[in-house]
Structure 1
Amino acid sequence: MTTSQLDKTEINPVFNRAFAALKARAAGLGEGPVFVEPDLGLGALPDGSGVADALDQSRWEWLHEQLGLPPLPPHDLGEMVVPIAVFHVRYRAPGRRLAQAVLRARRDDAEIELPPAAAFDELFAPRTAFAASAALPPAYWGFERRPDRYPGLKVRFRLSPEHFIASGPGTDLPPGPVEIDFDDGEGFRSLNWGDEALVEYEAAGQQRIALRLQTPTGSLNAAFLFTVEEASAPPADEVAPVTASLAHEKRHYGGTRHVYYAWGNRSGRVQKPILLAEGFPGGAWANDIYDIFDGKTPGGWNPNAKLANELRDAGFDLIILIFGTPGAPIQGNAMVYLEALKWIRDQVGPSTEIAAMGGSMGGLIARYALCYAETHGTDIGNVTRMVTFDSPHVGANVPMAVQYTARFYAHRSHSFHDLLNYACAKQMLMHQVWYREDVEEEVVKEDYRRFYAELEAMRKDGYPTRPKKYAVSNGHLEGFDLVRPESHALTVRRRSGICAHYEAHLWFTANRAPQPRYDYADCWISDRPHRIVAYLKPSAGFFSRDGCAGGFANHVEKAKDALSPFGAFPEGYMTTGRNCFVPAYSALGVKWAGDAHQFKPSQHRGRTPFDDWYAPATNQWHCTIDKSIKEWVLGLFSRHAAETETLEAAV
């Protein structure tokens, strides 16, 4: 019995005792989940009757988690097949009698009047939910989930029985075929469970895919939105699984390597390898990572920034490593990176040069792997270069106001809250809020301290000593700030439905040592304020990172989205959606204990552990590749090749 929604309904505090009693009695009904979502009236969900409203994937996922349904199977990263996910659920929702009781209680500022136990089940009406969606792997930019889009106009769909979720009597997987109209002009076609369909669209854009199936009680209908875009990344020449032979905490993590041979390489073997690790949280599609290194950003494409293609033009084989467990500890993924390096070593021999690269968290994974190899004498071949792109070598930043809001309103949108709970997120975030109400907590958590201490204990300052080390920062060369500390970020107010009354005000972190009680956000529920207050241990020398120079992200806008899961922005306004995600000093590996707003990369060349680095003339989206960065990296590889030839000639 799932009653999570009843737990978390946003209600006036005077209702709490009565709703606790409601929950306890509802648990005894034993007829499926209880769903209470005020913004949907009386818990009305798509029920499969008539013409179905088309859901997008994020909306389907939100309904899936609110009903407390089991998780979907992991995405198969080796093949670009799109499973069709379906749920068919019997659940109970508040009836009109309960709605009227809630409204009377609000009007009279009183507790809800409960009926006798014998009449309790009359408060909840039995209902059916039936909905479908594509199950694309989530794509992220740091902590930001990007729109769900399929890269290409030819799509292989699979009517996957593993993605059919049933709950309640009469909801089992139907044995017969399903009729699906893929909105490609071909009309409905019949597919059995487990079948695949190759669909070709004439142009990029949003498609409305309709699905209908017959059950013993009648026909069920569903529809979902599916967006396709022109493919940009070429297909990989080879795809293969990778499983770490070395365990982390008794677990052998895995992933997938995607090999893109140099354009002139017809040998079928790697010859001049570059191993590129994806970033946070893991589990992306390789073509998406390829596009990022060819200039794709959340704001569009940077012209003439095709680093991936031009490295292949220069004769390099690009191996993109995708990690199989999103959110896994950095050490676990580093063991996968080591395994990929050993495969490359076996391909090219012990003397051929190997370049290790990583974007964002991927750079930290590569750094840890190389340090581990040196410390433990692991043979990974001749790794001569390590290049990282806006990697959090000292830590990453998500505004504490955003973290508080994600924790407080987790029941409205789990995604950001879940990302903050990933093991690798806790290892990288320099300041964290876990939201234990009325409990004083430090903002620098043990997970962060322990990981970076472990890294530094392996090698001097925590960096490998054998390869040349290079870093790219997306933070302003002269330290130009993004936003001012303690400035307003976001205000949201919403009053709708039976009891969905809430308000939130967010500010960027003040640039001073916090007091024992320090406000980052006011979050109210119902008609009475319930203020979130940070109970922090005072910390001398505390400084904000929210607006300092660095690769930026859009975390404030994601907080807004969490408060608006139905797409409609409620009353309020947002000052800016941008904040610093990876400070420039962190991307360059400088241990900066002072005011982060005073750090200027141009003035600290002697303090970085890297042999050379690049910072742009303006703050950029995190992990941006533009024309200047592309040319710097290509020049780096050319310069390294020239130095190697000179050294070999001298010998």
Structure 2
Amino acid sequence: MAQQAEIHVSRKIVEGVQAPSGDQPVTPAPHLRQQVWFATEDVRAGTAPSPTFEWSLQGAYAHEGKTATGTAHVFLAPGHRNLERPLILADGFNYGPSDLPGLWKHFDKKEGGNFLTRLRDSGIDVILLGFDERHTYIQANAGVAVACIERAASERIGSEPLIVGGVSMGGMITRYALARMESEDHDHQTGTYFSWDTPHNGAWIPLILQQMAYFFESFIPEEPGHPKQAELIRSPAAQQLLWAWVENSKYEGPVATSSKLRTDFLRELASYGNFPMRPKKIGVANGHGAGVGLKLTPGETAFDWKNRYNTVSAKALVQPDKGESEPIGSMHIALEIRRSSTTAVPALDGVPGGTLGSFGMVAQALGIEVDERFDSTCFVPAVSAIALDFDPATWDVDPALDISSLDRDRSDLDDFLCDGENSPHSEPRRALTDFLVNHFTR
């Protein structure tokens, strides 16, 4: 039986260091403020067309007493006066409300193959689906997806099957929505399901960085109306998506099953068959498909910083490869220092996958200069994005597997394509765009 993935924390009083006086602030960095760590900024460059229609949506059902809401922007294909060939693209993981103009600009980049324009030019009506709280429960936002699917089906002229999917968590939201609709004998009228770098079996944010988000948060003055820096990490969406998660900077124990929200979600999804069965299922991954990872050595130091008073420090290591009580970093303010280690946690920072600037974001927030090699780590491993058939809780898989040599029946998707390199998570790449457009327009 495989050893359980765990995190350990030791705490001690730092000797020989005086507590800071009034002119020696304990603020981690002079410019540090309450900002949500690991949230990506909205796309500002470029332009987005005005939608033909705009739909205000309310979830078809509540989850945990919450009925989610959202908005859809509908862009009819040239020459269409009504919906004829609807494609729904659901927004992904982030904090706060969706930015649909930004989502358009992101996916319609020229260098990425003008994904949305090409779809419309081929006669497909594009529906961008956004959520008022991207960080809430997947099940709640899936209710919004169901409402969008129902409206698209009811307003469509003719009987062309829907194309439904999403980017990042949007792929999980629509996967759950379609699977649940089938289990309830609810006709979703969908012929194709698709996902773009979706963490089907889980995503990864370095555990030491999760701990730092919690640790330094409490030492920063609160700003009324502004979320705290660990709000995205502690959100329901993060708990349900991340394979390894910690609830605070002191937590010790299992990391793959530490959140009941994730174990409950996986159990519920399994009760619906894990995937919708009726549609054809395709997906793309931003990770390298031939098992080539990032140039990160497990256990090496990404940054090691302390302020000039030696009253605050932060050290982060690249995640070691399994082992027992392997150090991953430390942090301290004033007299207390915390050191963290992990057991049986794979070296996921450098495996093939869609990347996120995790170390870079934290270093920038703390005012630390780091080698650009350490800016990004894997966020969605390629083996997860292509829905390779393995246990999403135990992760009994080699995350650096050469996917290009595998039979397609090893995946829960009917067809998929990986990028030729490890590109930023959800980044439109021409080869990935071509793959999806060709499938949708056959």
Please point out which of 380, 395, 412 is paired with 2:202: 395
Shift of 1:622: 0.5
Determine whether 1:619 maps to 2:422.
yes
- Letter of the 2:151 counterpart: W
Equivalent in the alignment of 1:504: 314
Determine whether 1:587 maps to 2:385.
yes
Instruction: Name which structure has the greater RCO, CA cutoff 8 Å, separation 6+.
Output: 2
Equivalent in the alignment of 2:191: 384
Shift of 1:13: 8.3
- Letter of the 2:61 counterpart: L
SS, match of residue 351 in structure 2? coil
Equivalent in the alignment of 2:436: 633
SS, match of residue 233 in structure 1? coil
SS, match of residue 368 in structure 1? helix
Distance 1:350 1:374, change over 3 A: farther
- Letter of the 2:284 counterpart: V
Distance 1:324 1:247, change over 3 A: same
State the distance in 1 between where 2:208 and 2:261 align.
20
Shift of 1:323: 0.4
Determine whether 1:315 maps to 2:145.
no
Shift of 1:38: 8.8
User: What are the ranges of 5 or more consecutive residues in structure 1 without an aligned counterpart?
Assistant: 1-11, 20-34, 41-58, 67-137, 152-228, 296-301, 640-651
Shift of 1:411: 3.5
Contact 1:543–1:595 (Cα < 8 Å) also in 2 = no
SS, match of residue 598 in structure 1? coil
Distance 1:633 1:601, change over 3 A: same
Distance 1:323 1:533, change over 3 A: same
Distance 1:573 1:308, change over 3 A: closer
Equivalent in the alignment of 1:259: 74
SS, match of residue 419 in structure 1? coil
Contact 1:475–1:615 (Cα < 8 Å) also in 2 = yes
- Letter of the 1:286 counterpart: L
Shift of 1:448: 2.1
Contact 1:144–1:555 (Cα < 8 Å) also in 2 = no
Determine whether 1:145 maps to 2:34.
no
Distance 1:387 1:412, change over 3 A: farther
Shift of 1:470: 0.1
Greater share of residues in strand:
1
Give 1:466-505 correspondences, 5 Å limit: 466-482=278-294, 483-495=296-308, 501-505=311-315
Shift of 1:638: 2.3
- Letter of the 2:161 counterpart: E
Shift of 1:325: 1.8
Give 1:43-442 correspondences, 5 Å limit: 143-146=38-41, 151=44, 229=45, 231-265=46-80, 267=81, 269-281=82-94, 283-295=97-109, 303=111, 305-348=113-156, 351-380=159-188, 382-411=189-218, 416-435=229-248, 437=250, 440-442=252-254
SS, match of residue 339 in structure 1? helix
SS, match of residue 313 in structure 2? strand
Shift of 1:276: 0.8
- Letter of the 2:351 counterpart: C
State the distance in 2 between where 1:598 and 1:304 align.
26
Residue deviations 1:350-404 (CA, integer Å, cap 9, x gap): 8331100200000000100000000012233x20000100000000000112112
Equivalent in the alignment of 1:525: 333
Q: Kindly name which structure, 1 or 2, has the bigger radius of gyration based on alpha carbons.
A: 1
Contact 1:401–1:508 (Cα < 8 Å) also in 2 = no
State the distance in 2 between where 1:276 and 1:39 align.
40
Distance 1:39 1:457, change over 3 A: closer
- Letter of the 2:320 counterpart: A
Shift of 1:408: 1.5
SS, match of residue 127 in structure 2? strand
Please point out which of 554, 557, 580 is paired with 2:357: 554
Shift of 1:304: 5.5
Shift of 1:283: 1.4
Distance 1:464 1:352, change over 3 A: same
**Aligned positions, number:** 412
Equivalent in the alignment of 1:71: none
State the distance in 1 between where 2:155 and 2:55 align.
14
Q: TM-score, normalised by structure 1?
A: 0.59
Contact 1:409–1:563 (Cα < 8 Å) also in 2 = no
Equivalent in the alignment of 2:405: 603
Equivalent in the alignment of 2:270: 456
Equivalent in the alignment of 2:4: none
Query: Segments of 4+ in structure 1 off by > 6 A?
Result: none
- Letter of the 1:458 counterpart: Y
SS, match of residue 155 in structure 2? helix
User: What are the ranges of 5 or more consecutive residues in structure 2 without an aligned counterpart?
Assistant: 1-15, 221-226
Distance 1:13 1:260, change over 3 A: farther
State the distance in 1 between where 2:181 and 2:158 align.
15
State the distance in 1 between where 2:50 and 2:142 align.
25
